[in-house]
Amino acid sequence: MSEEAKNNGGYSADSIQALEGMEHVRMRPSMYIGDVGYRGLHHLVYEVVDNSIDEAMAGHCDEVEVVILEGNGVRVTDNGRGIPIGMHAKEKVSALEVVMTKIGAGGKFDKDSYKVSGGLHGVGVSVVNALSRHLKAEVRREGKLYVQEYERGKPLYPVKEDGVSTENGTTVTFFADGQIFDELDYTYDILASRMRELSFLNKGLRLIIRDERSTDEEGNFKEDNFFSEIGLSEFVRFLDESREPLIEEVIHVSGEKNGVPVEVAMIYNTSYAENLHSYVNNINTHEGGTHLSGFRRGLTSTLKKYADESGMLDKLKFEIAGDDFREGLTAVISVKVAEPQFEGQTKTKLGNREVNAPVSQAVSEMLSDYLEENPKDARRIIEKVILAATARHAARKAREMVQRKSVLTGTGLPGKLADCSSKDPAESEVYLVEGDSAGGTAKQGRDRHFQAIMPLRGKILNVEKAMVHKIFENEEIKNIYTALGVRIGTEDDDRALNLEKLRYHKIIIMCDADVDGSHIETLILTFFFRYMRELIELGYIYIATPPLYQVKKGKKSHYAWNDDQRDKLVMDMKGAGSDSSVNVQRYKGLGEMNAEQLWDTTMNPEFRTLRQVQIENAIESDRTFSMLMGDEVAPRRAFIEKNAKYANIDT
């Protein structure tokens, strides 16, 4: 040990590790792809596809194919120019090897190659290579086929010529590394949703996805082929297919303002939700940013001007707020920025100030023209705005009554809430329990120190179909707000949440394991998604999983959460060649368990299974809630028919 180390408890210059880029990716993968769970796994595919999309945005590619292979490998093929394979002047190896093995390398940093690109930080395919146990890159370029393979980011041999090719393009085949990832099983629907989204954002680009891990009864692979001729207008129609339109045509603009390519599509529907999705270079900017601010400014100022000039606001006794102009609005905003600056908690908030004005100007011009040319639709929109303002005014009064409850009742907590003794939100959890009976059992079985119980009577209001003031008048929803300690509304935003006094960091929905219980779960989740989405995004919403069966033989008793577990327990208890009658009890309600059983199976942190509610894809989540809980019957019927084979029908 060096003298420096002896004098400093072993901490010296020798303790400092200077990791090369690829080694650092393997040691700290979450810094590059978010996590090493299913999200990070799927992010690998997006990184490879992004390279192909960059080729499409540059005008050199019109087809991308994604194939999930046996063994959970993925193959991405495009018909772009093909990654350059010539010798790199600085690195003294093929440019392909540089792209595949050097963090931050790639053509997207060269403005002559790509004016805009989709990657957030330029890490791209090299990160995928570092986190794959095996990756193969094939390049079709200049009449030849070139290939190089890698193991955990290290080349197995130099780039070599491997035949001829009459086409151009790149194929990347990779298998994620089980030493890095917690799971390696890709979900087809997650990848298909992203491919569909990319097809809308890049009109004229065909995206094909196929799953070769299994076949249907006829021997066919599952496959989808996404292609959009018109782009964002089709996207908006797709988003709103389960809502009733207020106006017939999608309002659309596409063009360049002050050097910024802007495309916007929007439509109004009869719902009460605002549904805005913004993109920068194909990246979904969940936290918004300057482009979204520009959209809102252009929309509000233009509609307000038209409404004032029409005289329709003359009899209104209160001011119209920006929120009122966006109720029932579905819109997609897409901009292309050469050097995007991202900020915010998840680096998905656009910070470029120069983008605000071009988007605002484009929206204002588009909307002004539309309102002048479509006076009937214009009137419907303004009437909708006035209705929204009236409802918001009523909702504010109802909301104030909810929040004034603390003054009237002293504690401000609902009478049904059995609170926990801990005042630390980080360790406290509340169970939203279906029914007073199950609530009583849960109160007896809980750990009073950190577990609170809030029984809910029956089915809460379906917020998808209700005006805002009706929501705050609903007794069960009022109780949820007051129990959680959440405050709603600020001077600037009537729907903003204040979570400073949130009392629990685990909010657990616990319902019966039957059809009614599933419906109640969905109603509660709809409420959280529409009015407390921040709680889902922060990871505070969970679903309890009570067992479906108790399997008993004599004094032996075990629980099962699905049919396979039940069947295995029955076989194990019977024993080889034994004819004895094992007793199987099907739990349909929480009330069928006593307090001790409920604690052992569903509430004890040591043994329970909680499912954390996450928003993997906000667009798909929005469409699902709208389809399941909205007014339109046809999309819901189609969903039920498609998924009937997965339904657990109680008899």
Other Cβ atoms less than 10 A from the Cβ of 414: the count is 19
Annotation marks residue 434 as catalytic: yes
- Find all residues with CB under 8 Å of 331, minimum gap 6, and list them: 236, 264, 265, 266, 267, 275, 276, 277, 295
How far is it, in rounded angstroms, from Cα 402 to Cα 540? 22
Q: State in Å, rounded, how far the first CA of the chain is from the last one.
A: 73
Q: 285 with 400: CB under 8 angstroms? A: no
Spatial CA neighbour of 325 closest among 369, 383, 279, 372 = 383
Collect all residues with Cβ–Cβ distance below 8 Å to 534 and sequence separation of at least 6: 497, 499
Q: What is the residue type of 63?
A: E
Kindly state the tokens that stand for 499. Answer: 């979570």
CA–chain centroid gap for 289, Å, is 18
* The pair of three-digit structure tokens given for residue 636, joined into one six-digit string: 């819901």
Could you say which of 516, 534, 537, 600 is catalytic?
516
Handedness of CA 315, 317, 322, 328 (dihedral sign): negative
Per the CB < 8 A criterion, the answer to whether 18 and 33 are in contact is no
Q: 434, 464, 473, 622: which is the annotated catalytic residue?
A: 434
Residue 645 CB neighbour total at 10 angstroms: 6
> Residue 374 half-sphere exposure, CB side, CA atoms within 13 Å?
17
CA distance 418 to 437: 14
- The candidate with the shortest Cα–Cα distance to 135, out of 105, 95, 97, is 97
Instruction: Look up 512 and say whether it is catalytic.
Output: yes
CA atoms within 13 A on the CB side of 596: 0
For the stretch 343-366, what's the b/e string if a residue is b when 16 or more beta carbons lie within 10 angstroms of its beta carbon? eeeeebbbebeebbbbbbbbbbeb
Q: Kindly write down the DSSP assignment for every residue of 101-115, as one continuous string.
A: HSTT-SGGG-TTT-S
Q: CB-based contacts of 469: which residues, under 8 Å, 6+ apart?
A: 391, 392, 394, 395, 397, 398
Angle ∠(205,211,217) on CA atoms, nearest 5: 125
Determine whether 324 is an active site residue: no
- Residue 402's H or E segment, with its range, is helix 375-403
Other beta carbons within 10 Å of 182: 11
Q: How many CB atoms lie within 10 A of CB 3?
A: 8
Q: Considering 419, 429, 514, 521, which one is annotated as catalytic?
A: 514
Name the catalytic one among 54, 419, 512, 592: 512
User: How far is it, in rounded angstroms, from Cα 341 to Cα 525?
Assistant: 34
Residue 314 annotated among the catalytic residues of the structure: no
Q: Which residues pair with 421 in a beta bridge?
A: none
Active-site amino acid positions? 434, 512, 514, 516
